[in-house]
């Protein structure tokens, strides 16, 4: 998506990192009076690549943080050039090209805190908004901000965690700061979906054993529970009704490819046909 903007603010890039899987992390100064909500997105233009060409990216920083950050994956000519231009090895004197910033935009899944139990489901590039949201909710919990939400379940659906190594770092940061146990993370690695053979079975056994002994995943190093294959959303959501007996409504927020959000919608619709807990689904397709 390319757009032109009239409300541009020139900002300085303070730090740039070249990360695996073609991802570039940009950290830049937060403009004065720039207020935003977790999960929102901005448009940026790079002076070295043409100041009138804007591209949208979701903020991965949290509203309480001093700086803004983006994780940009190289999937086309412009984002590939961003990776080249902001590679520290190509920058003289650590002076990065300035950016133009426009935004913020979007709702950002802000209703999660209104439900006693919330479920966040991220798949593919749709996991990006939840980086900001997870950091924001843990920050609010640590500061003892009062809100109705008592428990959050984050389901990350990915072909392999190596596609988004930076998200693993975000989750590690969230786990470290979640002193009140607000967030429970489940990672679903789908690359074994079509070949659940002896090797995969042994991986599963080793993972469960290691997690039981060490309290963390053999594959990710996180405390999060790692699953092999795609999530059975209906089964997972139904167990929450038993886990949180007496909760009348559970908020479900999904962001990712249409087939995934459609499966979440079907699971909620099916469960809502029965009496008891109501599942309210909000979604965005990426």
Residue 107 in this model has a pLDDT that exceeds 90: no
Q: Which of 101-105, 190-194, 233-237 has the lowest mean pLDDT?
A: 190-194
Q: Which residue has the higher pLDDT, 146 or 236?
A: 236
Confidence of residue 2 (pLDDT cuts 50, 70, 90): very low
Q: Is residue 66 part of a domain?
A: yes
- Alpha carbons within 13 angstroms on the beta-carbon side of residue 250 total 30
Q: What is the mean pLDDT of residues 132-153?
A: 91
Given CA atoms 177, 183, 186, 187 in this order, what sign does their dihedral have? negative
Count of domains for the chain: 2
| CATH classification of the domain holding 31 | 2.40.30.10
Q: Do 241 and 143 reside in the same domain of the chain?
A: yes
Q: What is the pLDDT of residue 201?
A: 58
Q: Do 91 and 154 reside in the same domain of the chain?
A: no
Q: Do 128 and 195 reside in the same domain of the chain?
A: yes
Q: Do 126 and 89 reside in the same domain of the chain?
A: no
Q: What is the mean pLDDT of residues 16-25?
A: 90
For residues 53 and 5, what is the distance between their CA atoms, to the nearest angstrom?
8
Q: Which residue has the higher pLDDT, 168 or 66?
A: 66
Q: Do 256 and 146 reside in the same domain of the chain?
A: yes
Q: What is the mean pLDDT of residues 53-82?
A: 94
Give the range with max mean pLDDT: 117-126, 165-174, 261-270. 261-270
Q: Do 29 and 158 reside in the same domain of the chain?
A: no
Task: Write down which residue in 105, 133, 155 finishes a domain.
Answer: 105
For residues 27 and 68, what is the distance between their CA atoms, to the nearest angstrom?
6
The two structure tokens encoding residue 261: 């959000």
3-state secondary structure of 34: coil
Which residues touch 225 (CB under 8 Å, ≥6 apart)? 184, 185, 186, 187, 211, 217
Q: Is residue 154 part of a domain?
A: yes
Give CA separation, 98 vs 17, 72, 73, in Å.
Answer: 15, 16, 19
Residues 68-97 have pLDDT tens digits of 999 999 989 999 999 999 999 988 877 899
Confidence of residue 207 (pLDDT cuts 50, 70, 90): low
Helix (H) or strand (E) holding 155: strand 151-158
Q: What is the pLDDT of residue 3?
A: 47
The residue segments making up the domain with residue 45 are: 9-105
Residues 158-186 have pLDDT tens digits of 887 677 788 888 888 888 888 888 999 99
| CATH classification of the domain holding 200 | 3.40.50.80
Q: Do 143 and 267 reside in the same domain of the chain?
A: yes
Confidence of residue 192 (pLDDT cuts 50, 70, 90): low
Residue 272 in this model has a pLDDT that exceeds 70: yes
What's the mean pLDDT when you consider all of the chain? 86
Q: Do 221 and 133 reside in the same domain of the chain?
A: yes
Q: What is the mean pLDDT of residues 38-56?
A: 90
Match 């700086």 to its residue by tokens: 67
Q: Do 119 and 219 reside in the same domain of the chain?
A: yes
Q: Is residue 2 part of a domain?
A: no
3-state secondary structure of 206: helix
Confidence of residue 196 (pLDDT cuts 50, 70, 90): low
Q: What is the pLDDT of residue 78?
A: 95
Q: What is the mean pLDDT of residues 49-59?
A: 89
**pTM for the whole thing?**
0.85
Task: Write down which residue in 44, 77, 105 finishes a domain.
Answer: 105
Q: What is the mean pLDDT of residues 18-46?
A: 92
Q: Do 40 and 94 reside in the same domain of the chain?
A: yes
């Amino acid at each position: 998506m390319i757009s032109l903007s009239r409300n541009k603010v020139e900002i300085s890039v303070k730090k740039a990192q070249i990360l695996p899987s073609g991802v570039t992390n940009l950290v830049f100064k937060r403009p004065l009076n720039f207020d935003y909500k977790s999960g929102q997105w901005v448009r940026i233009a790079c002076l070295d690549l043409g100041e009138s060409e804007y591209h949208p990216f979701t903020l991965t920083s949290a509203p309480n943080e001093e700086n803004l950050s983006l994780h940009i994956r190289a999937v086309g000519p412009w984002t590939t050039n961003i990776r080249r231009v902001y590679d520290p090895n190509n920058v003289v004197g650590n002076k990065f090209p300035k950016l133009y910033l426009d935004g913020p935009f979007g709702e950002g899944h802000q209703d999660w805190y209104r439900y006693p139990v919330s479920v966040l489901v991220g798949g593919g590039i749709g996991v990006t908004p939840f980086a900001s949201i997870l950091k924001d909710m843990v920050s609010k919990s640590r500061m003892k901000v009062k809100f109705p939400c008592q428990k959050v379940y984050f389901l990350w659906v990915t072909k392999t965690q190596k596609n988004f190594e930076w998200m693993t770092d975000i989750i590690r940061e969230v786990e470290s700061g979640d002193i009140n146990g607000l967030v429970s993370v489940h990672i679903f690695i789908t690359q074994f979906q079509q070949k659940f053979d002896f090797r995969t079975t042994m991986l599963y056994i080793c993972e469960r054993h290691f997690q039981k002994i060490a309290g963390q995943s053999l594959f990710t190093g996180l405390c999060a529970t790692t699953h092999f294959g795609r999530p059975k959303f209906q089964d997972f959501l139904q167990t929450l009704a038993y886990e949180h007996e007496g909760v009348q409504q559970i908020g479900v927020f999904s962001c990712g490819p249409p087939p995934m959000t459609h499966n979440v919608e079907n699971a909620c619709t099916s469960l809502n046909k029965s009496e008891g807990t109501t599942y309210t689904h909000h979604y965005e397709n990426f």
